[in-house]
């Protein structure tokens, strides 16, 4: 568990159990991650206090459960809880307007579910974390000023 | 008168003589004149001896006796005068003398008469008395002493008590003393503390002084007239002047802008203080220091302003940090830009790489197609031509053409296979097949060649090998084909033996060993290592002499190893070579696929109508020629649409269907025939691209079998016969059986296996999840289609999309799903959508069945 300090805490949120599992397997395989999976946005929100480093969120959370919170609502709630938390939206739709909408809701990135989704996710996560680190450094300098 | 006198005398005399006390009469000169008897007795001298002798001579103390005598004369008498008479023999007698003078009648003193009373007894009594008295007195004394002692005791007791009391008092006094000592000590400590405290205070002030001195910020006090009164070390170092020089000088002189400094200075007086006013101090050597000027007034006891205290903070360091920060910000911005650029570049590179891979695949695919199509015709027509009347020379040339064509096709297939292996796309089927039959059919193909070369072929088959095994018969063929054709190629005389042996068998699996031995040229020891490498033959000589691409063995090795097998070679030059490979096969109880039993040529079947769907003219002609040869009637359709038209006007026994065609391709056409026309007519696909994916698609859309181009006429014939014969004995059950036998798998777990790193637990979890989720999605999808609930349909299909790639269902189905999604979101109710939904349902149901089976095998393996 000691290593958990250095691991990236990752929330995976998707109501598609199969895809969720496959994503989890992919991430477990790369070992740098401490993963928690949630099948609904509500569950994800309820666990935000665990301070995830990155959240990967399915766009279509209300696909089958009509009353479920959808991806964008969940995204808004996450951002309300902590605007710093990077959220990457996953969707099986490769649609520009969906992507733009997600960006408007302050999503960090938008990735289409496909075979390469995992590779892209990993890349985006490392980019995001690197960017955050840079920002922190900047902030630190600002404070010293 | 005398007589009387004489008598009187006599009498007196007797009296004197009778007296026991010594009596003496002494004359004036002190000589004895008379003495009585007692005196003679006491002295021991005779009377005659005594008379006229000095009285004094008879006493122990003559002088005292004399004195007594004189005293008597002088006083007239003496009483009880103690003297001690000394006897002649030395005895002593204490006496008490009483004497008186005796006078004549005239009263003249004649002498002294002295009586000495022996007082020895008297003296003893006296002594006793005295002793008694002494005793009494002594007793008294003792008594007194005792009394005194009692008193003394009492006194002592008293004194003891007093002493005790005293002692107690002393104890108390001691305690008191001790207490006082403590107090004293305490007092000392307090004193010491006080001293220390005083010392501390001194130190403190020293400390604050040294602090002020140590401060890096210049501190200075200025009088109301602007003169420096006191300063710390920092000011001297920042100005480069000594304390003496600074004292009483004008403070404002040390700033680069004295006027500005003065304003600030005046502001301090006006407002009482000023904070962080930026100014610049000048060192005497000209060096400038940026400072923040902080000042406040201070007052004396009478609350009069006495001057100001100024702290000038050196902000050089801060300015430097600020500058550095600015630089850091710029740097990080640049870094971000660079990172951004790098990201873009990486993305671009990735796309390029992706494109490159795609291009490579596309190129290979195109090349194979573009080369194979014309080669198909070349080889086909060569074969046709060979059947006509020809001169021996012509036959020889035509055979050369055919041989070259065959080897070219082989090369292309090899390259494609290798490319597939390299790209990790080589996929192995797991279909039930009859291994013995499969092998004998394979070897059958070599019979002609072996006869031609006048060789012998011996085959032994291990009967213990189960009839039906699960595996990839096509790849097994490929392996055996390569090895046997090598054996035939490199052997000019002797025999070729083919052995199979059951090496190991357990509940789920068998391991079969294959041995191919020839008596050919053999391989040099030095080359054995390299023969399995790409484009390597035992020697460059061999390729010239025997031809071949040098890819065959490389492919064989990869095919064997990818199926968890292994291959070895033993060879001796000029004696022969043995290739040995082992392959594992899963056991199965499933029914094998319909075997391609090679029917005999001479069976003539007439009245067979075949529809050939093929767009390329050359191929059309070739097919027509071949079918004519078989004695079948045939119609040609250039694409699917025409084929459907033809089928609606005429009944056919069988369809040979090319896959790549304009207007309507083979898959679409077949789907239409099966789903719309509801026809069970046998359809054999003609394909140039032997990828498993294509085969899977063929089966999925409902084709019965496939044959690869260039077409082996015997294979085509036998395959066609199978279906025609079946069709002859048309019965519902048969058709059903055929459909069931179409069980090329639609799922492929290779990717999932790679992703989970062959972790069976994860695999099982994934499969279970799929099996759990998919049936619900299928029923929701169907229901929503019936209810025309496009939104639900769209969402459901949407949900299904990621699962296709996970369980390895062909991307065509993913595209079908996407199409449905699109139709649904546009609310387009078309015929197509129902059709597409049915296709999706079909493939998903099949996937579920396959995965259920897969799950069982995992469970079985885990039970072991």
Give tens-digit pLDDT for A7-59.
788 899 988 888 888 888 888 777 678 889 998 888 999 999 988 989 999 88
Interface pTM, i.e. ipTM: 0.73
Interface of B with A (CB under 8 A): 321-322, 325, 328-329, 332, 335-336, 339, 343, 751-752, 755-757, 759, 762, 765-766, 769-770, 772-773, 780, 795-796, 798-799, 801-803, 805-806
Q: Estimate the crossing angle of helix B790-806 against helix B831-863, to 10 degrees.
A: 40
Cα–Cα–Cα angle for B202, B208, B210, nearest 5°?
100
Instruction: Report the half-sphere exposure of B508 (CA within 13 A, side-chain side).
Output: 9
Residue of A18, A94, A144 to mutate, interface with B, max B Cβ within 10 Å: A18
Residue B96 to residue B119: CA distance in whole angstroms: 6
Residue B565 to residue B725: CA distance in whole angstroms: 38
Grouped pLDDT means (10 residues each) for chain B, 864 residues: 59 69 80 81 82 82 81 79 82 80 76 75 64 69 70 72 73 76 76 73 64 69 79 78 81 79 79 78 80 77 76 74 81 84 87 80 73 81 84 85 80 76 74 83 81 87 87 84 86 89 88 91 81 64 57 84 89 88 87 51 65 86 83 87 88 87 85 86 80 70 82 81 67 41 66 75 82 85 82 81 80 82 73 79 85 78 52
List chain B residues with CB under 8 Å of A130: 339
CA A85 to chain B, closest CA, distance in angstroms equals 19
Q: How many CB atoms sit inside 10 A of residue B747's CB?
A: 25
CA A82 to chain B, closest CA, distance in angstroms equals 23
List chain A residues with CB under 8 Å of B757: 29
| Contacts with B115 (C-beta within 8 Å, 6 or more apart), sequence order | B19, B21, B22, B23, B97, B98, B99
Q: Is the peptide bond before A76 cis (omega within 30 degrees of 0)?
A: no
Partner B contacted by A138 (CB < 8 A):
yes
Q: How many CB pairs under 8 A join A and B?
A: 80
- List, for residues B228-258, the tens digit of each pLDDT value: 877 877 777 778 888 888 888 887 778 888 7
Partner B contacted by A134 (CB < 8 A):
yes
Q: Is the peptide bond before B710 cis (omega within 30 degrees of 0)?
A: yes
- List, for residues A52-92, the tens digit of each pLDDT value: 989 999 888 876 666 778 888 899 999 999 888 899 998 87
Residue B826 to residue B794: CA distance in whole angstroms: 10
pLDDT at B515: 92
| Residue in B173, B158, B160, B68 with CA at minimum distance from that of residue B114 | B68
Pair of tokens at residue B746: 């639609």
pLDDT at B762: 79
A113 with B801: CB under 8 angstroms? yes
Q: Estimate the crossing angle of helix B760-786 against helix A17-29, to 10 degrees.
A: 150
Residue B785 to residue B783: CA distance in whole angstroms: 5
pLDDT at B741: 40
CA A111 to chain B, closest CA, distance in angstroms equals 13
Partner B contacted by A26 (CB < 8 A):
yes
Residue located via tokens 């077409």: B711
pLDDT at B740: 42
The string of DSSP letters for B515-570 reads EEE--SS---HHHHTTTTSTT--S-HHHHHHH---S-HHHHHHHHHHHTT-EEEEE
Pair of tokens at residue B681: 């007519």
Whether residue A92 and residue B801 make contact (CB cut-off 8 A), yes or no, is yes
- List, for residues B641-663, the tens digit of each pLDDT value: 889 888 888 888 899 998 888 88
Pair of tokens at residue A142: 């600002």
Reported as type and span, the H/E element at residue B99 is: strand B92-103
Phi/psi of residue B765, nearest 5 degrees: -60, -45
């Amino acid at each position: 568990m000691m290593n958990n300090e250095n691991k990236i805490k990752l929330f995976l949120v998707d109501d598609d159990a199969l895809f969720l599992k496959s994503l989890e397997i992919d991430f477990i395989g790369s070992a740098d991650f401490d993963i928690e999976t949630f099948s609904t946005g509500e569950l994800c929100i309820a666990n935000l206090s665990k301070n995830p480093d990155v959240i990967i969120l399915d766009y279509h959370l209300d696909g089958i459960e009509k009353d479920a919170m959808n991806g964008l609502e969940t995204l808004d709630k996450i951002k309300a809880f902590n605007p710093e938390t990077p959220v990457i939206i996953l969707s099986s739709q490769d649609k520009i307007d969906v992507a733009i909408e997600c960006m408007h809701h302050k999503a960090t990135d938008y990735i289409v579910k496909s075979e390469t989704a995992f590779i892209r996710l990993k890349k985006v996560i490392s980019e995001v974390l690197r960017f955050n680190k840079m920002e922190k450094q900047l902030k630190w300098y600002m404070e010293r000023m | 008168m005398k007589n009387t006198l004489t008598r009187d005398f006599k009498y007196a005399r007797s009296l004197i003589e009778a007296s026991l006390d010594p009596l003496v009469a002494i004359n004036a000169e002190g000589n004895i004149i008379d003495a009585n008897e007692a005196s003679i007795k006491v002295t021991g001298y005779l009377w005659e001896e005594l008379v006229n002798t000095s009285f004094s001579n008879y006493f122990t103390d003559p002088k005292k006796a004399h004195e007594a005598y004189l005293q008597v004369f002088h006083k007239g008498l003496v009483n009880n005068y103690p003297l001690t008479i000394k006897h002649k023999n030395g005895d002593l007698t204490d006496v008490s003398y009483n004497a008186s003078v005796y006078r004549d009648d005239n009263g003249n003193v004649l002498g002294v008469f002295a009586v000495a009373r022996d007082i020895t007894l008297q003296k003893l009594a006296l002594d006793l008395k005295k002793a008694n008295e002494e005793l009494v007195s002594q007793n008294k004394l003792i008594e007194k002493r005792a009394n005194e002692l009692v008193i003394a005791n009492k006194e002592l007791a008293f004194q003891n008590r007093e002493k005790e009391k005293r002692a107690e008092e002393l104890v108390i006094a001691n305690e008191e003393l001790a207490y006082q000592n403590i107090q004293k000590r305490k007092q000392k400590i307090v004193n010491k503390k006080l001293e220390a405290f005083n010392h501390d205070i001194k130190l403190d002030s020293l400390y604050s002084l040294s602090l002020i001195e140590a401060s890096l910020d210049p501190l200075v006090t200025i009088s109301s007239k602007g003169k420096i009164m006191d300063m710390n070390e920092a000011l001297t170092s920042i100005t480069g002047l000594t304390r003496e020089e600074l004292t009483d000088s004008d403070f404002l002189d040390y700033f680069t802008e004295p006027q500005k400094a003065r304003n600030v200075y005046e502001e301090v007086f006006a407002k009482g203080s000023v904070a962080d006013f930026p100014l610049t101090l000048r060192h005497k050597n000209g060096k400038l220091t940026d400072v923040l000027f902080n000042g406040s007034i201070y007052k004396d006891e009478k609350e009069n302003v006495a001057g100001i205290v100024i702290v000038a903070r050196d902000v050089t360091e801060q300015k430097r940090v600020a500058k550095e920060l600015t630089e850091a910000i710029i740097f990080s911005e640049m870094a971000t830009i660079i990172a951004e650029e790098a990201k873009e570049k990486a993305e671009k590179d990735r796309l390029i790489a992706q494109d490159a891979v795609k291009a490579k695949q596309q190129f290979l695919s195109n090349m194979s197609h573009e080369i194979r199509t014309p080669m198909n015709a070349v080889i086909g027509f060569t074969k046709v031509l060979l059947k006509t009347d020809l001169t021996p020379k012509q036959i020889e040339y035509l055979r050369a053409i055919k041989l070259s064509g065959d080897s070219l096709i082989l090369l292309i297939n090899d390259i494609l296979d290798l490319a597939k292996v390299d790209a990790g796309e080589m996929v192995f089927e797991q279909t039930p097949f009859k291994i013995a039959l499969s092998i004998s059919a394979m070897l059958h193909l070599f019979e002609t060649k072996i006869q031609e070369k006048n060789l012998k072929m011996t085959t032994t088959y291990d009967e213990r090998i189960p009839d039906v095994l699960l595996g990839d018969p096509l790849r097994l063929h490929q392996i055996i084909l390569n090895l046997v054709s090598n054996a035939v190629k490199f052997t000019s005389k002797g025999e070729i033996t083919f052995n199979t042996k059951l090496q190991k068998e357990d509940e789920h699996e068998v391991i079969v060993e294959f041995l191919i031995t020839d008596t050919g040229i053999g391989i040099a020891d030095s080359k054995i290592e390299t023969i399995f490498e790409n484009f390597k033959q035992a020697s460059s000589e061999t390729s010239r002499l025997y031809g071949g691409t040098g890819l065959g063995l490389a492919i064989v090795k990869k095919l064997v190893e990818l199926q968890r097998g292994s291959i070895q070679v033993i060879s001796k030059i000029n004696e022969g070579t043995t290739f040995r490979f082992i392959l594992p096969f899963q056991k199965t109880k499933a029914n094998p696929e319909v075997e391609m039993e090679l029917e005999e040529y001479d069976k003539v079947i007439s009245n067979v109508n075949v529809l050939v769907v093929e767009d390329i003219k050359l191929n059309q002609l070739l097919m027509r020629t071949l079918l004519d040869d078989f004695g079948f009637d045939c119609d040609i359709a250039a694409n699917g649409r025409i084929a459907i038209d033809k089928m609606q006007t005429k009944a056919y026994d069988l369809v040979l269907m090319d896959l790549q065609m304009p207007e309507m391709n083979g898959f679409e056409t077949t789907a239409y025939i099966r789903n719309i026309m509801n026809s069970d007519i046998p359809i054999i696909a003609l394909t140039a691209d032997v990828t498993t994916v294509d085969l899977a698609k063929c089966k999925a859309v409902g084709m019965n079998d496939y044959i690869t181009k260039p077409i082996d006429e015997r294979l085509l014939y036998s395959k066609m016969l199978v279906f025609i014969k079946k069709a002859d004995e048309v019965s519902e059950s048969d058709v059903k059986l055929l459909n069931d036998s179409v069980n090329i798998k639609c799922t492929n777990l290779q990717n999932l296996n790679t992703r989970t790193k062959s972790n069976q637990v994860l695999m099982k979890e994934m499969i279970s999840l799929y099996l759990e989720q998919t049936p619900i999605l299928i029923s929701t999808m169907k229901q929503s289609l019936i209810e025309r609930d496009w939104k639900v349909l769209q969402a459901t299909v949407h949900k299904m999309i990621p699962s296709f790639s996970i369980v390895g269902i062909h991307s065509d189905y993913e595209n079908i799903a996407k199409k449905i999604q699109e139709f649904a979101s546009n609310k387009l109710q078309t015929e197509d959508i129902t059709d597409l939904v049915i296709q999706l349902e079909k493939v998903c149901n099949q996937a579920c069945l396959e995965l259920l089976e897969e799950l069982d095998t995992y469970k079985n393996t885990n039970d072991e």
